[in-house]
Amino acid sequence: MGLRETLDAVLGATRLPKSNLDKLFAISTASITMQSELDLKPAPAAGICFKPVESSRFDAAKNEIGELLRFSSKESGTTFRIETDEYRFIWVILTDPDFEDLVAGIHLVSLTLIEKGFGAYLLCAIFRFGNGKPVYWIYNFKQGRYYPFIPAADKTRDNASEFRIRSRMEKELPIENDVERWYPLWGIPL
Amino acid sequence: MVRWPHDLGLQIRMAGTLFLLALVYFVFIAVLAYIGVETLLLLVIVTIILLLQYFFSDKITLWSMGARQVSEQEEPHLYETLTRLCTIAGIPRPRLAIVDNNIPNAFATGRNQKNSVIAVTSGLRTMLNQEELEAVLAHELSHVRNRDVMVITLASFISTAAWFIFRSFLISGTGQLRGGRGGRQNLLFIIPLIAAAVWIISFLLIKALSRYREFAADRGSAVLTGQPSHLASALMKISGLMARVPTNDLRKVEGMNAFFIIPAISGSSIFNLFSTHPTVEQRLAALEQIEQELGRHGT
């Protein structure tokens, strides 16, 4: 714990960590290995989740995201929809058979939020693989790391497969070391 | 970079209170040293008591409040709400506990982030909607993040010692604390007076400090959720109901005094939404302020 965090804690000041986009694109190359070695094709959809903020500037940022996506969809053909989940978080779901376009779209949304000053409220980005049972790679913006999430029946998760996929992919993808941070997300809308 | 409104005034008041506490403690120790009182044994005893309380605060508090720790499978919704807040705050996730009680309340306990537990009553869950529940969890999470148990325990250290000195003089005259060699024995009689004064002053300062930390946690909740109005409506709902419920039950916490023996620090491991002093009106006014700052500057 650094001096600044200690001082912040003692004086009760809250600072939220910044979001880190550096490693987001690592999923592009990883998707090729996922397909060739694990026979897991990327699904034609990806999502990004963030927390709404009570501010007119946030509403403006959200509108801008919609406009940017509409604009870029003319070129890429990516379609999108915006949803609010049961935790009142906002999801932007992108649909496109081209995985590169999905990654670019997720990057566009996160970058816009960061530029407008709401990067701290990014929860995660999610990429889905596999046809039947979904295999998710979740990008944690605060850690700048990915982790696998494979839900099973009744809100349990397939830990064995998650560990297996980690050991296969850890050379190509920056994976969260601390397994305790592999938080599940139930009811992912993609 | 997120430019969230910082309450500089609050931080200055908090730093000022801590400084005054340190000053009072310093003067107290200087006087004891001047008179030549053997304080080593006393300090060792107080240290042990505080260490015990520090390390077992989570278990003691949970046990005395009748809180039951729950697993992720038992409370998936509550856990996921907390998980999302912790992910945004970039901190490890504390455990959750439930108190089967209809009175809406919540508290946080534990010495550091990894060993912390946040407890909510069943009444709180039924009364609040998702956003309000999240705001209350964010408030408790801010207590964890700000290490309030540690700060208050440390701040209470000499205060506790002063209380012990005062007590031992009451029980046995000047008995237990013998003057050391070369001390000024003729001044021993003023020690209980000074100890009492130190205890009272530091008690008031610690109360002020914990009020400031409540405000800081409210602000932390507003920053973390990005939505100050939901904490405000949660506070209004809870206080509105509490007005109609006999307060005796809420004061159950006071029973902790007997348990901890040491009144000045008994509250330190419990950060109840309501047992510490800022009034709901004051807290709502502070949240209103944050909302206005948000409206003016955005983030």
pLDDT in tens, A2-25: 788 888 888 888 888 999 999 999
pLDDT of residue B242: 55
pLDDT of residue B45: 81
Q: Which residues of A touch B (CB under 8 A)?
A: 8-18, 51-58, 86-89, 117-124, 140, 142-143, 155-156, 180-181, 183-186
Residue A99 has pLDDT above 90, yes or no: yes
Share of chain B above pLDDT 90, in %: 28
Share of chain A above pLDDT 90, in %: 72
pLDDT of residue A46: 96
Question: Which residue in chain B has the smallest CA separation from A8?
Answer: B146
pLDDT of residue B266: 33
pLDDT of residue A141: 96
The model's confidence at residue B40, banded by pLDDT at 50, 70 and 90, is confident
Residue B268 has pLDDT above 50, yes or no: no
CA-wise closest residue to A51 among A82, A92, A88, A101: A88
If one compares B211 and A69, the residue with the highest pLDDT of the two is: A69
Task: Tell me if B1 is assigned to some domain.
Answer: no
Residue B261 has pLDDT above 80, yes or no: no
Rounded to a whole number, what is the distance in Å from the CA of A57 to chain B's nearest CA?
Answer: 6
Residue A101 has pLDDT above 70, yes or no: yes
Over residues A153-176, mean pLDDT:
92
The model's confidence at residue B241, banded by pLDDT at 50, 70 and 90, is low
pLDDT of residue B7: 73
**What is the spatial order of strands in the sheet that B95-99 belongs to?**
B67-70, B95-99, B117-121, B106-109
- Residue A146 phi, psi (nearest 5): -100, 155
Over residues B195-211, mean pLDDT:
88
pLDDT of residue B86: 95
Rg value, chain A, Cα: 17
Task: Tell me if B81 is assigned to some domain.
Answer: yes
- Between A and B, how many residue pairs show a Cβ–Cβ distance under 8 A? 125
Question: What residues does each domain of chain A span?
Answer: 16-181
Question: Which residue in chain A has the smallest CA separation from B12?
Answer: A11
The tokens describing B84, both together, are 């999302």
Number of Cβ within 10 Å of residue B267's Cβ equals 21
Of B84, B151, B216, the CB nearest to A89: B84
d(CA B252, CA B244): 17
The model's confidence at residue B253, banded by pLDDT at 50, 70 and 90, is very low
Residue A137 has pLDDT above 90, yes or no: yes
Q: Look at chain B and report how many structural domains it folds into.
A: 1
Of A12, A119, A123, the CB nearest to B14: A12
Residue B256 has pLDDT above 50, yes or no: no
- Helix (H), strand (E) at residue B70: strand B67-70
Of B84, B87, B220, the CB nearest to A14: B220
CA-wise closest residue to B298 among B226, B229, B233, B230: B226
Task: Using DSSP, state whether B296 is helix, strand or coil.
Answer: helix
Task: Tell me if B180 is assigned to some domain.
Answer: yes
The model's confidence at residue B295, banded by pLDDT at 50, 70 and 90, is low
If one compares A102 and B214, the residue with the highest pLDDT of the two is: A102
Over residues B53-62, mean pLDDT:
80
pLDDT of residue B225: 95
Are the beta carbons of A12 and B10 separated by less than 8 Å? yes
- The answer to whether domain A16-181 has CATH 3.30.70.600 is yes
Angle subtended at Cα B206 by Cα B205 and Cα B208, rounded to the nearest 5 degrees:
65
Amino acid (one-letter) located at B221:
S
d(CA B73, CA B107): 22
Over residues B1-29, mean pLDDT:
81
- Mean pLDDT computed over every residue of chain A: 92
pLDDT of residue B174: 52
Residue A175 has pLDDT above 80, yes or no: yes
Question: Which residue in chain B has the smallest CA separation from A6?
Answer: B146
In this structure, the strands spanning B67-70 and A90-95 are unpaired
- Residue A39 phi, psi (nearest 5): 55, 35
**Which residues on chain B are in Cβ contact (under 8 Å) with A56?**
295, 298
Give the best residue of A6, A16, A20 to mutate against chain B (max B CB count within 10 A).
A16
pLDDT of residue B190: 84
DSSP state of B37: B
**Which residues on chain B are in Cβ contact (under 8 Å) with A17?**
89-90
Over residues B122-131, mean pLDDT:
92
pLDDT of residue B70: 95
Task: Tell me if B2 is assigned to some domain.
Answer: no
Over residues A67-85, mean pLDDT:
92
Residues B185 and B243: beta-carbon distance below 8 Å:
no
d(CA B16, CA B299): 28
Structural domain of B37: 8-297
Residue A95 has pLDDT above 90, yes or no: yes
Share of chain B above pLDDT 70, in %: 79
If one compares B87 and B187, the residue with the highest pLDDT of the two is: B87
pLDDT of residue B250: 41
**Which residues on chain A are in Cβ contact (under 8 Å) with B299?**
53, 55, 57-58, 117-118
**What are the Cα distances from residue A146, in Å, to A40, B239, B262?**
17, 42, 48
Are the beta carbons of A88 and B294 separated by less than 8 Å? no
Of B11, B80, B147, the CB nearest to A87: B80
Residue B87 CA, chain-centre distance (Å), reads 24
Question: Which residue in chain A has the smallest CA separation from B221?
Answer: A14
What residues of B are annotated to the active site? 140
The model's confidence at residue B177, banded by pLDDT at 50, 70 and 90, is low
